[in-house]
Amino acid sequence: MSNITYIQVLLPLRLEWEPFYALPEGVSAVEGERVAVIFAHRRYVGVVSAVGVEPPGETLAQVKTILKKEEELPLVSPEEIAFWRAISEYYLCSVGEVYKAAYPQIHVRKRKKELRIPEALPPTAPIRLSAAQQQAFDSVQKAFARNKTVLLEGVTGSGKTEIYLQLIAEALRKGRSALYLVPEIALSRQLEERVAASYPAVLCYNSALTMAKRRDVAEILCSGKPYLVLGTRSALFLPHRNLGLVIVDEEHDTSYKQDSPAPRYHARESSIMLAGIHGAQVILGSATPSLESLYNAEKGIFNRVQLKQRFHSGEDASLLVVDTVAERRKRGMEGDLSRKLLYEIQQTLEAGEQVLLLRSRRAYAPAVQCVECGTIPKCPHCNVSLSLHKDPDRLVCHYCGHTEAYTGTCPQCGGSLQALGAGTQRIEEEIKAVFPTARVARLDSDNASEEASIIKSFAQGEIDILIGTQIITKGFDFENLSLVGVIQADNILGQQDFRADERAYQLLEQFRGRSGRREKPGRFVIQTREPDHPVFARLEGEADLTPMLLVERRQFGYPPYTRLVHIVLKDENEKRLQYLAQELARAIQEAVGPVVGPYAPVVDRVAGKYIRQMRLMLPRDKTLLVRKQSLAQTVARFENERKYAGHIVIDVDPV
Ligand code: ADP
Ligand code: ZN
């Protein structure tokens, strides 16, 4: 028997196992400590995941000694490691990949000054809840007492945020910490001021912070005093201590899902895992809950609490659906804008109020086409048309960023190119032409760096008309906004996805919620070629879409009745891709169950790589975990045997 102590170490890598290391003589270690080690000729800082273990005999000779202990780095708690393991198991990635996401920067310099740890408790008296709010608050408390996750469904402006603030006060009073998640950084900025009015010590956290700021937040959390974090999804991976409450606001929002890299987690489901580890309560809030959450409420897994009235007596914005095909026939259109919408804008401006216009495509035009030969210039690296941008004129690929100068002449025949359709830039141009004295601005991902200042200017009334993409539909609160308009709802409705109607409804209802948040009811104008679409009937309050959508989902075996998993393959060689995708589908079919695909997605080549996809709809029963594990193993084995690592991605619960 040797007297060497062996440990296992979690490395920030896509590695299915935790390698063994020896400790130098006289050195001890505990789980959660960080150590520097060499793995495959490279140096890493890992986390000790087991101490006093015995490496398998045949590998003993190869076990290396650690380089050193990283004693200045804080200890990783058992709760953190438990959370990483839960995420890894659910989303079929390695624990190391989660560790890497949680600790993106290993080497942080030591701080010179002591960090001041603020008191999180509220310095102001809480606002008095209305009777409806109080009732909702009591129902939430009752559900929490039974350890139920709460789905708080309340129209925009019903006072959900005030309820969250009081729940936070409760948690802090009990000496527990609180995590308040929002889907977007811009949203967290607007909320920051409001939350800080009650909790000056609120800690804001998102991926735009510098590493030093992130470390400061992490350090405050580790101090052991109750805290309040307001953040985006990555805040889940902070070193949480004694968490008592997790709030997931706008729970339906797809920004909660991380697309890439692994872990491809959804913050809503992950919050529930994290809360389970800490014994914390979870509240999910939305005006338009996801079908997944409504289903969970129906099953009694969640407790649904509703707030039906707006706090201020304002009604929902009244809806006007404009049929653009009919209007064009009647000469009721000026370019892309209907006279009906222009009239509404005019009225709003005359009343000294503000207008928000949604066009869900950025750029001047989504494509250009040759008037002579019909050619539509495409990206050389992706299977998509190039968008026309102005200032300066250029053609841009919205998938890979490829940019070309725009000469206005066809590369094929030299004929002249014409803009096809209108993006935000063109709408801005048209609006400025009709309302030359109005203060007009645009917000989309082309000027996202100015997002904070544009949102602020609009909130302060320095902009009359703001045109933007989806970003402007989210939970912002603009006091003087009374008209919201959708320029071309058709590409919001017409997506090839089983979630298209749900998404379209959520987006439009959220957008409607931006207007008329105070006493006055707002107005909502939608321009569309499909005025009879069922989503509009739902917006009119004529029909509840949910039962219909749920029936459809059940019939076709879609979530929430099943668990959806996508397997995505990418390869610059299309032939090899097609062949291996079919082989993999066969292997999965044998080991796990029926596979749909492989098929080419709508955009089947991006950044020089062809794409094939397949989907599995796994039954939500006792076999689920086993099937998922066998899927992961099958893919790992396939990657090994076919030497195809790096080409395959597993995406659990894709959105
Ligand atoms: P939601 O989060 O559901 O959109 P908010 O919490 O933002 O709703 O409330 C809408 C508006 O009503 C806000 O301006 C908020 O300050 C105000 N409000 C909500 N509840 C109260 C209350 N109990 N007392 C005073 N104002 C309130
Ligand atoms: Zn491209």
The ligand 1 atom nearest the CA atom of 128: 23
Count other Cβ atoms within 10 Å, centred on residue 333.
Answer: 20
- Residue 60: pLDDT above 80? yes
Mean predicted confidence (pLDDT) in 308-322: 84
Between residues 393 and 123, which one has the greater pLDDT? 393
User: Mean pLDDT throughout 37-42?
Assistant: 96
Does ligand 1 have an atom closer than 6 angstroms to the CB of 133? Answer: yes
Instruction: State residue 475's pLDDT score.
Output: 77
CATH of the domain at 92: 3.40.1440.60
CA 383 / ligand 2 centre spacing (Å): 7
pLDDT band, very low/low/confident/very high, at 615 (cuts 50, 70, 90): very high
What are the DSSP calls for 379-409, one per residue? -SSSSSBPEEETTTTEEE-TTT--EEE--SB
Q: How many domains does the chain have?
A: 4
Residue 67: inside a domain? yes
pLDDT band at 267 (very low <50, low <70, confident <90, very high): very high
- Asked if pLDDT for residue 468 goes beyond 90, the answer is yes
pLDDT at residue 108 is higher than 60: no
Q: What one-letter code names the amino acid at 249?
A: D
pLDDT at 451 over 80: yes
Count CB atoms within 10 A of the CB of residue 394. 16
How far is ligand 2, taken at its centre, from the CA of residue 608, in Å?
8
Residues 184 and 273 in one domain: yes
**182 Cα: distance to centroid of ligand 2 (angstroms):** 31
Residue 407 within any structural domain of the chain: no
**What pLDDT, on the 0 to 100 scale, is given for residue 113?**
66
Please, what's the largest Cα pairwise distance for the chain?
93
Mutating to test ligand 1, I would choose from 165, 311, 479, 510 the residue with most ligand atoms within 8 A of its C-beta, which is 311
pLDDT tens sequence across 420-450:
999 999 999 999 999 999 999 999 999 988 9
HEC-encoded secondary structure of 574-643: HHHHHHHHHHHHHHHHHHCCCCEEEECCCCCEECCEEEEEEEEEEECCCCHHHHHHHHHHHHHHHHHHCC
Q: Does 393 map to a domain?
A: no
The H or E element containing residue 137 is: helix 131-145
Centroid of ligand 2 to alpha carbon of 492 (angstroms) = 22
Which CATH number does the domain housing residue 582 bear?
A: 3.30.70.600
Q: Which domain holds residue 614?
A: 562-652
Residue 118 has pLDDT above 80, yes or no: no
Are 537 and 570 in the same domain?
A: no
**pLDDT value for 519:** 72
Q: Which ligand is nearest to the CA of 385?
A: 2
Q: How large a percentage of the chain has pLDDT more than 70?
A: 98
Q: What is the pLDDT of residue 109?
A: 54
Task: Give the distance, in angstroms, between the CA of residue 191 and the centroid of all CA atoms in the same chain.
Answer: 17
Omega within 30 of 0 (cis) for the link into 654: no
Strand blocks (E) in 287-366:
302-307, 318-323, 333-334, 337-338, 354-358
Q: Does ligand 1 come within 6 angstroms of the Cβ of 154?
A: yes
Check pocket membership of 130 for ligand 1, CB cut-off 6 A: yes
What pLDDT sits at residue 496? 77
As to burial, measured by CB atoms within 10 angstroms (0-12 exposed, 13-18 middle, 19+ buried), residue 9 is buried
> Which ligand 1 atom lies nearest to the CA of residue 163?
6
> Looking at residue 107, what is its pLDDT?
53
Q: In this structure, which residue's CA is closest to atom 10 in ligand 1?
A: 157
Same domain, 620 and 471: no
Of 373, 383, 385, whose CA–CA distance to 417 is shortest? 373
Please provide the DSSP assignment of 171-212 as one string: HHHTT-EEEEE-S-HHHHHHHHHHHHHH-TTPEEE-TTS-HH
Asked if the structure places residue 235 within a domain, the reply is yes
How many whole angstroms from 391 Cα to the centroid of ligand 2? 20
Domain assignment present for 348: yes
129 lines ligand 1 (CB under 6 A): yes
Higher pLDDT, 148 or 548: 148
382 burial (CB, 10 Å; 0-12 / 13-18 / 19+) is buried
Q: Which two tokens stand for residue 381?
A: 């690296």
Better-scored residue on pLDDT, 186 or 527: 527
Q: What is the pLDDT of residue 142?
A: 97
Residues 64 and 165 in one domain: no
For residue 255, the CA-to-ligand 2 centroid distance in Å is 23
Q: Is 128 in the pocket of ligand 1 (CB under 6 A)?
A: yes
Beta-bridge partner residues of 483: 355, 523
Most ligand 1 atoms within 8 A of CB, residue of 161, 164, 514 to mutate: 161
591 located within any domain: yes
Ligand 1 site, residue 161, Cβ cutoff 6 A? yes
Our answer on whether the CB atom of 597 is closer than 6 Å to any ligand 1 atom is no
Q: What is the pLDDT of residues 474-520, one digit of tens each?
A: 878 888 999 999 999 998 997 778 899 999 999 999 999 888 767 77
Is the predicted pLDDT of residue 594 greater than 90, yes or no? yes
Kindly list the distances between the CA atom of residue 195 and the CA atoms of 143, 170, 230, in Å, as whole numbers in the listed order.
Answer: 24, 15, 9
Cβ atoms of 508 and 535 closer than 8 Å: yes
Per-residue tokens: 78: 């058992």
Looking from the CA of residue 130, the nearest atom of ligand 1 is 23
Nearest CA to ligand 1 atom 5: 159
Residue closest via CA to ligand 1's atom 19 equals 159
Q: Is 127 in the pocket of ligand 1 (CB under 6 A)?
A: yes
Cα dihedral 50/52/57/61 (nearest 10): 90
pLDDT(315) > 80: no
In this prediction, residues 268-288 reach a mean pLDDT of 97
**Residue 239 counted as domain residue:** yes
Both 199 and 59 in a single domain? Answer: no
Determine if ligand 1 sits within 6 Å of the CB of residue 251: no
Q: How far is the CA of 136 from the centre of ligand 1 (A)?
A: 14
Of 13-17, 83-87, 276-280, 596-600, the one with minimum mean pLDDT is 13-17
* Residue 528 sits in the same domain as residue 630: no
Compute, in degrees rounded to 10, the torsion defined by CA atoms 614, 636, 274, 160.
-20
CA of 349 to the centre of ligand 1 (A): 26
pLDDT of residue 618: 96
Q: Looking at the structure, do residues 139 and 75 belong to the same domain, yes or no?
A: no
Q: Are 187 and 284 in the same domain?
A: yes
Does any ligand 1 atom lie closer than 6 A to the CB of residue 160?
A: yes
Claim to verify: residue 195 and residue 274 sit in the same structural domain: yes
Q: Which of 38, 39, 49, 36 is nearest to 85 (CA)?
A: 49
Nearest ligand, CA 191: 1
The residue behind tokens 């510098």 is 210
Q: Does a structural domain hold residue 390?
A: no
* Mean pLDDT to the nearest integer, 522-535: 94
* Whether residue 324 sits in one domain with residue 292: no
Has residue 106 got a pLDDT over 60?
Answer: no
Q: Among 307, 331, 346, where does a domain finish?
A: 307
Atom index in ligand 1 nearest the CA of residue 312 equals: 12
Please report where in the chains the tokens 């000056």 appear, as a residue.
200
State the Cα–Cα distance between residues 249 and 152, nearest whole angstrom.
9
Higher pLDDT, 481 or 119: 481
Query: pLDDT category, 57, cuts 50, 70, 90?
Result: confident
Which ligand ends up closest to the CA of 127? 1
Ligand nearest to the CA of 198: 1
Q: How confident is the model at residue 612 (pLDDT cuts 50, 70, 90)?
A: very high
Query: Would the CB of 157 count as within 6 Å of ligand 1?
Result: yes
In this prediction, residues 25-41 reach a mean pLDDT of 95
Q: What is the CATH number of the domain that holds 489?
A: 3.40.50.300
| Span 384-417, pLDDT tens digits | 999 999 989 999 999 999 999 999 999 999 999 9
Nearest bound ligand to CA 190?
Answer: 1
Paired residues of 650 in beta bridges: 567
* Whole-number pLDDT of residue 423: 97
145 and 188, same structural domain? yes
Query: In one letter, which amino acid is 424?
Result: T
pLDDT, position 110:
58
- Local confidence band at 624 (pLDDT 50, 70, 90 cut-offs): very high
User: Whose atoms come closest to the Cα of 475: which ligand?
Assistant: 1
For atom 25 of ligand 1, which residue has the closest CA? 127
Q: Looking at residue 390, what is its pLDDT?
A: 94
In the predicted model, what is the mean pLDDT of the chain?
93
**Between 24 and 193, residue with greater pLDDT:** 24
Integer angstrom CA distances of residue 505 from 357, 399, 470, 493, 534: 17, 26, 13, 9, 9
Task: Check if 190 has its Cβ closer than 6 Å to any atom of ligand 1.
Answer: no
What is the pLDDT at residue 266? Answer: 98
**Distance between CA 394 and CA 405 in Å, rounded?**
5
Residue 496 makes CB contacts below 8 A (sequence gap 6+) with 602
Q: Is the CB of 156 under 6 A from ligand 1?
A: yes
Residue 626 is predicted with a pLDDT of 95
- 575 shares a domain with 530: no
pLDDT, one tens digit per residue, over 320-354 is 999 999 999 999 999 999 999 999 999 999 999 99
